[in-house]
Amino acid sequence: MPEITSVSDNQTLNKGDNVSLNCTANGYPTPTVTWTKVSDNSLVSFPLTITGKQNEGLYRCIADNGIGSPVTEEVAIIVHRKCLNLDTIDLYLIAII
């Protein structure tokens, strides 16, 4: 049965960032490591370009060598929302008035 020995920490990212999640596993035979997005079980390849909130969620590392059950670890990706710059809005409103 494989063993996951290292996995990326949770990530907080901005739109336009690139991210590569890492997962290392040991076992005999050598396990195959794949990543899926938990929400829809779709396969994910890295690097991943963050295009928006649709990239947010849990990502699952799966290590499988055909002996016993695959082992998994999950990593969260959080995508920052852009904040409004209130100083710019205030200046714009003053200019209109």
Burial of 75 (0-12, 13-18, 19+ CB in 10 A): buried
pLDDT at 40: 97
Residue 78 belongs to domain with CATH number? 2.60.40.10
Range of the domain at 86: 3-96
Q: Do 75 and 59 form a contact (C-beta atoms < 8 A)?
A: yes
- This prediction's pTM: 0.83
- How many domains is the chain built from? 1
pLDDT, tens digit, 9 for 90 and up, residues 47-77: 999 999 999 999 999 999 999 999 999 999 9
Instruction: Answer whether residue 83 shows pLDDT above 80.
Output: no
pLDDT digits (tens, 9 = 90+) for 2-57: 999 999 999 999 999 999 999 999 999 999 999 999 999 999 999 999 999 999 99
Could you tell me which residues are beta bridge partners of residue 34?
A: 62
Q: How far apart are CA 3 and CA 62, in angstroms?
A: 10
